[in-house]
Amino acid sequence: MELEYDDPFAKDFCGSCSKCIDACPTDAILPNKVVDGSRCISYFTIELKEMLLPSEMHNKFDNWMFGCDTCQDVCPWNRFSKPTTEAAFNPIPEVLNLSTKEWESMTEETFKKIFRHSPMKRSKFKGIQRNLSFLQQQQS
């Protein structure tokens, strides 16, 4: 259907800020607005299906188990974030409350039950376990 079109957003308010580039734990953010997806923690923890994570990434995951928000968390524009009003996005209590120990001792059955409607399904229980043990190895 034909509609009236909005004007494109012509400006760029990043300026000379490089907080996201500097903060990225795996140096995945390159110059000229190129993000190397194959170095991104979200890629490793969610999209990479191999059971072995690359050893060069040891100690670089900064305790991220599923995805990563570092480049958004440091972005000055996110000072203007407001809480969502969409009830379905309200946190699953276990996401907020479980400790590392509790995550590590979780059974597949429990995982499936708690995270039935969560995006974490994408990694599957095996993927979450892989990520947890990778984080554990880092500390030792």
Partner 1 sequence: MSIPATHTLLVKQLSKQLGFDYCGIAKAVPLDEDARKLEAWLNKGMHGQMKYMENHFDLRVDPTKLVPGAKSVITLLLNYFPSQQQNSDAPKIAKYAYGNDYHEIIRAKLNEFLFMIREKIGDIQGRGFVDSAPVLERSWAKKSGLGWVGKNGNLITKQNGSYFLLQH
Say which DSSP state 44 is in.
I
Q: Which is nearer to partner 1, 17 or 137 (CB)?
A: 17
CB of 10 to partner 1, least distance (A): 9
Q: What are phi and psi of 119, to 5 degrees?
A: -60, -15
d(CA 120, CA 113): 12
At CA 58, angle to CA 53 and CA 59, rounded to 5?
140
Q: Which is nearer to partner 1, 49 or 126 (CB)?
A: 49
Which of 58, 67, 18, 16 lies closest to 40 in space, CA to CA?
67
CB of 109 to partner 1, least distance (A): 20
CB of 111 to partner 1, least distance (A): 13
Q: Which is nearer to partner 1, 108 or 136 (CB)?
A: 136
Q: Which is nearer to partner 1, 100 or 137 (CB)?
A: 100
CB of 6 to partner 1, least distance (A): 4
